Chain A
Amino acid sequence: MTPRKHPVTLLTGFLGSGKTTLLRRLLEHPGMGETAVIVNELGEVPLDHHLVRAVDERTVVLASGCVCCTMRGDLAEELRDLFSRRIRYEIPDFHRVVVETTGLADPAPVLYTLLTEPVVRHHFELECVVTTVDSVNGLDQLERQPESVKQAAVADRLVVTKADIAAPEDVEALEGRLRTINPAAALLRVEFGDVDPAILLRAADRDPRELDLEPPAHTGHVHAFSIELDEEVDWTAFGVWLTMLLQSRGQDVLRVKGLVNTGGDGPLVLNGVQHVIHPPEHLPAWPDADRRSRLVFIARGVSREEVERSLRAFNRAAALV
C-alpha cells in the first residue's frame, strides 16, 4: 500500500500583501492542526507555532539554465528533514505543510522542486497555490512587477486582502485584472486573514469549460485564453506538442490547465506552470455530458488562434504517421 502523501500548500504573494497575517490566522484555526510551516525568514514572522522552520532560499540552477526549472535545494532539504525526523519521532507529527515564499520569490522553482525532486515528490504532494494580493497596491504591483503577475498566474486561489481600507472601485478594478490574468482560480476576499481553511484550501477549481474569457486589450499583457476541441486528442501528440511549446515559449506561457478528451471514460486533467507539468490525472468519468477538451492558457505574446491551429495540426498529423 502506498502511504498517503503530505499535502503541501504554497502561500505566495507580493510584499506587504498579507501573507503572514493570513498564515497566522490559518494556523490558529482548529482545522489546521498538525501543520508544519516553512518560511523564508524566521525573524520577521511572529508565528506562535510548534513547527516553524526557516529556509534561506538557496537555489540550484540546473544545466538547462532555465529559471523556472531551478531546484530549490534548501526547500528540498527541509522537506526531506521534516519527513525523516517525523518518522523518528523527533518532532511532533504533522499532516500538512505550508510553504510561505518571500514576496519577491518566483513561485515556479518551488513548484518544480515539489514535483520533481525524487524524495520530496514521493512523500509530499502539492495541494494548492494560494496567492495574496492587496487591494490598495495590488493593481500597481501587477503593472510594474512581473513577479506579481506570475504569482497571480500560478494561483489556484487568489486572496484579495485589505479590501476594508481600499476604495470599492479599486477593489473591483483589481479583481477584474486578476480575472483577466487567471480566470480559472477561485477569487476570495479576505479581511484580517479571517478565512476558514476548509474554504481556502479546498475551494473547488472553476471548470475551465465555464469560463467567459475576453480577448486582452494588448497582446503583450499576460492574459488568459481557452481552446476547445471537439475531436479526440491523441495524448502522445499532445505530449510532443506541449513539450515543444514549453521549450520554445516557456517564459511566455505561464500556466496551462484543462480537461483533455483522450478517448477514455473520463478526461485527463492537465495542470502546468511554465515547464513544470503536474503528473496528469485520469478522471474516472466526465463531470457532465460535454465531452469537449478545453484548455486554458495564461500567456503573453501568443495568440489563441496560433496555439489552436498548431495543436490541431500536430493532432491531425499524428493520426497519419
Chain B
Amino acid sequence: MLCGALMSDHWAEQSGGYRARKARVKLMNRVLGHYGLSVDDWAGAVYTLHDRKGSSVVVQDVGSVWQAAEGLAGRPLDPLDGDLVASLERVAAR
C-alpha cells in the first residue's frame, strides 16, 4: 500500500503529505500519552491506537482517532482539560 495520506478525504489531512503525517502522529502521541494511550502510523494509510493493556484499534483518519481513543481510555478526551493543556505548556516551556 502506498501513501494513504495522499488519498485521505479528511479535511485536516488534505495537505502536507508524509511530513505532516509524521508531525501529526508525534503531536497526537503527546496528547494521547496524557491518557495512557499511543498511536502509530501504519504504512501512511491508517492509524493504530494502543492502550497499556495491549488493546489496539485501527482508524482511518485523525477525526476518528479521538472517538476510538475515548473508547480505549473509557473517558472523554477533552482538549480544554486544564491538566492536559498545562502538560503541553510545560513541553513548550522546556
Q: A residues touching B (Cβ–Cβ < 8 Å)?
A: 64, 234-245, 247-249, 275, 277-280, 302, 306-307, 309-310, 313-314, 316-321
Contacts and interface: CB of A to CB of B under 8 A. Distances in A.
B88 to A, nearest CB: 4
Contacts of B14: 279-280
Nearest to B29: A321
Q: Is the interface of A mostly helix, strand, loop or mixed?
A: helix
Contacts of B92: 313, 316-317, 319-320
Nearest to A315: B92
Q: Is the interface of B mostly helix, strand, loop or mixed?
A: helix
Contacts of B62: 239-240, 243
B27 A247 contact: no
B80 A314 contact: no
B43 interface: no
A206 B22 CA distance: 36
B80 A240 contact: no
Contacts of B12: 236, 238-240, 242-243, 277
27 contacts: A235-B20, A236-B16, A236-B20, A237-B23, A238-B12, A239-B62, A240-B24, A240-B28, A243-B62, A244-B77, A245-B79, A245-B80, A247-B77, A248-B66, A248-B70, A248-B76, A248-B79, A248-B80, A277-B12, A280-B11, A306-B82, A314-B27, A316-B92, A317-B27, A317-B89, A317-B91, A320-B91
Nearest to A307: B80
Interface of B: 11-16, 20, 23-24, 26-31, 62-63, 65-67, 70, 76-80, 82, 85, 88-89, 91-92, 94
A321 B20 contact: no
A219 to B, nearest CB: 13
A321 B26 CA distance: 6
B27 A236 contact: yes
A236 B23 CA distance: 7
A241 B63 CA distance: 10
Given A236-B20, A321-B26, A321-B27, A278 B70 contact: no
Contacts of A247: 63, 66-67, 70, 77
A307 B78 CA distance: 11
A274 to B, nearest CB: 12
Given A236-B16, A319-B92, A320-B92, A279 B11 contact: yes
